[in-house]
Structure 1
Amino acid sequence: MSAPTHTQPHPATRGGVDIRLPWWALALPALAFVALLALILNPSDAQAATGDPTVTQLFERLQQLIAR
């Protein structure tokens, strides 16, 4: 003969949701957002915009060849 087991009610059935986030669950996404925003807004890291003249000339030649 098996004994009846008493289980605790599911947390969602107690009338409210009891979820606690650790401090780093909010801090890490905020830190990542700030870091990416700093990378985007820092104009000194925009070195790729000033391309090498040789590469620019190569792309111009390729564009001319494709346009023919």
Structure 2
Amino acid sequence: MSAPSHTPPHPASRGRADIRLPWWALALPTLAFFTLLALILNPSEAHAATGDPAITHLLERIQALAAR
């Protein structure tokens, strides 16, 4: 009975792996980083949303029910 022969690994699997990312995998985090950086540097452009009293009241009721 003969033993199975060992085949050498594929040349591409030796050393560095060849991984390619799509363009958006780098573009989207970069865009998010610079957007947040711009908001930090100029906070006057970041306006808080005014809440409707009905929505605020509803959220308070949900919070009170969850606290029980």
TM-score of the pair, normalised by structure 1: 0.41
Q: Which has the higher helix share?
A: 1
Structure index of larger Rg: 1
